[in-house]
Structures are given as C-alpha cells and as structure tokens.
C-alpha cells in the first residue's frame, strides 16, 4: 500500500473522483495552473483540461455561488477556498442557498458541492490565515462538516463528500498537510511517507461520513478531539500515563453520538479538545450532549481545552494552541474530581 502525505491523499481523492465522474469539476483561486497554494490540485488541470479544473477571480462569494448554480443543474463542484479565514464573504451563499436549496425546492434541486478549506494554525499565518471556523458551520442545518486527521481518512472522507448529494464543508488541518504531528512540536516531525498513518489505498475507497474512530483504547477518561488535536491528546495521555480513550470524531455533522455515549458511559469522564476559541466553540455542543446522555455515569465535570478567546496571535501561536501540558492538566483534573 503506498504512503502519502495528506496533500497527496487529497489530490488522489479529487483525481479519482474526476476520473470516475465527468460531472466533478474543480475550481478556486490558483487551483488550476498553479495547483493551489498548498499544491493539493497540482496536475489536475493538465490531466482534465481547463473546463474541469480552472482558476477563478479572487472572490469567495463568486466561487461558492457559481458552485451552487452548477450543482443545481447537475454538476458536482469541489471548490477550494484558499484559507478558511477567507470564507466569510461566501458565508451567506453557503447558509442561505447551499444548505437550504433541497428544503426550499421540496427536493426538486439539490446541492452536491464540497467546499475545501485549509483550516487551523501551524504555519505562523497570524489572524487571517489560522482560524478554525468549524462551529460557524455546525450551527447550520443542511450542511455536513468534516475534519480529517490523517491521509487515509482525508482521502476516504473527501471521496465520500464528493459523492454525497448534499453540501459538505471539508476542513483540512494545514498543520498536518506534510506530516504527522506528535503533539510536542510546532512542525511535523516525520513525513507521512514514513508513518503508518500515511498508508493509503491508491484506488477508490470511502470512509463514511458520520462515523468516529477510536484512535486509542482506554478505560479512565474519554477524550473527544478532531484534526490536529488528536495528536495533542495522544501526547498528553502518554505524558500523564492516564489510560485515556481518544476518539477522533472525523465528522462533526453528522456526529457519531453513539460512539461518544458508549465511550463516556464506559469511562465516566470526558475531556474535549479543539483548537478553536472556547466560547460557543463546538466543544460546548459536545459537552451538552455528553451531559444530556451520560449524566448518571459521569464521575467528574466535562472538561474543555481549547484556544483562547482572543484574536489569533502571531508570535505566540504555540501558546495559543492547546498543548500536551494543558490537555494533561485537564486529564488529571478529571481523574482527581
């Protein structure tokens, strides 16, 4: 089985989808000739031509609006917003049109689009290249929201998203693009090509949307995480020696609530970790669900470890992230409560 970086896995998913279905089109800022700012679409224009993989003006509203119109008339656009921070001009199109067109038309029209976005920090991009806006989309009925943590999941989930009949927001943790993250370092320490999680089937396969994965078995406390924070949670569990069960949510909408309930009822404790800000972050919804469904099994309050409620810092980026020390402290508090 070949080994891939997450970038290569995403490119492979798009390539296979375009090859299998002539209705799949790819476009966005610099995605055609240049292959995208992170090179996720490199070579696709040369292979499929300028009518199926093309560059657009610098207009996120235009990119997503065009994709919605194409989807309503039978195409399957997979578009790139260059950074998740740039999606806000397109937010009205996503919320008011893409998410609602099936319901507004009583099923006469659907919107099978994928909006890919590099998300989160890790490249010292500052306030306008490092945001994690997933909670803005999990609030919207009619959307699906995906955050992969490794190349295999990235490929399988992206193929599932492209084949899905409804709009999918696909958030790609840019800190994981070129290598696994052991939770301790600012940069990936080993290329995915030499890491077991980098093993990716070269052909067509799917990872179902709405299914979490238990990344680490444990019996003392459940950790809910996604994207880069999966590796931070693993590092914290190793450092503290606490027998933590780590669940990689993979899909935030639809959410695998059954997997969460099963784990928390087993461990009796829960810590939630995400990179986005604390207030109104997706962790608040997770905490509410855990309390609602596992109240009588909880032995300690549900903990949250997140980014700070501040504009995204540049020079203090690593202090902003939930690191193994902060996650480890939360695990200890959960065990001592």
Catalytic annotation, residues: 129
Sign of the C-alpha dihedral, residues 59, 56, 206, 9?
Answer: negative
Distance (Å, whole) CA 297 – CA 299:
6
Supply the DSSP symbol for 224. E
5, 191 Cβ separation under 8 angstroms: yes
- Cα–Cα distance for residue pair 274/227, rounded to 1 Å: 8
Q: First CA to last CA across the chain, in angstroms?
A: 45
With residue 104 as reference, give the H or E element that holds it: helix 101-104
Chain centre distance of CA 33: 26
**Phi, psi angles (nearest 5°) of residue 78:** -120, 100
The verdict on whether omega for the bond into residue 254 sits within 30 degrees of 0, i.e. cis, is: yes
């Amino acid at each position: 089985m070949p080994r891939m970086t997450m970038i290569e896995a995403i490119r492979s998913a798009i390539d296979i989808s375009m090859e299998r279905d002539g209705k799949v089109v790819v476009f966005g800022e610099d995605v055609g000739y240049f292959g995208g700012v992170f090179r996720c679409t490199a070579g696709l224009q040369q292979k499929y031509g300028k009518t199926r993989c093309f560059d657009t003006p610098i207009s996120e509203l235009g990119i997503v609006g065009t994709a919605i119109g194409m989807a309503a008339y039978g195409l399957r656009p997979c578009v790139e917003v260059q950074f998740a921070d740039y999606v806000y001009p397109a937010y009205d199109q996503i919320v008011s049109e893409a998410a609602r067109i099936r319901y507004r038309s009583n099923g006469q029209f659907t919107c099978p689009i994928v909006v890919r976005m590099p998300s989160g920090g890790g490249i010292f991009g500052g306030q306008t290249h490092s945001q994690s806006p997933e909670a803005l989309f999990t609030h919207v009925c009619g959307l699906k929201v995906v955050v992969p943590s490794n190349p295999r999941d990235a490929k399988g989930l992206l193929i599932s998203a492209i084949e899905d009949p409804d709009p999918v927001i696909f958030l790609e943790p840019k800190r994981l693009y070129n290598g696994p993250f052991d939770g301790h370092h600012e940069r990936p320490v080993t290329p995915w090509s030499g890491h077991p999680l980098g093993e990716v089937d070269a052909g067509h396969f799917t990872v179902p949307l709405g299914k979490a994965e238990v990344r680490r078995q444990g019996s003392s406390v459940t950790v809910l995480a996604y994207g880069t924070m999966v590796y931070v949670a693993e590092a914290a569990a190793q450092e503290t020696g606490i027998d933590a069960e780590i669940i990689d949510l993979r899909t935030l909408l639809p959410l695998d609530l059954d997997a969460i309930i099963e784990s928390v009822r087993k461990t009796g404790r829960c810590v939630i970790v995400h990179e986005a800000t604390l207030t109104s972050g997706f962790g608040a919804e997770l905490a509410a669900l855990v309390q609602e469904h596992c109240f009588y099994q909880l032995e300690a309050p549900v903990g949250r470890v997140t980014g700070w409620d501040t504009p995204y810092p540049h020079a203090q980026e690593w202090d902003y992230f939930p690191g193994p020390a902060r996650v480890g402290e939360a695990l200890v508090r959960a065990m001592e409560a």
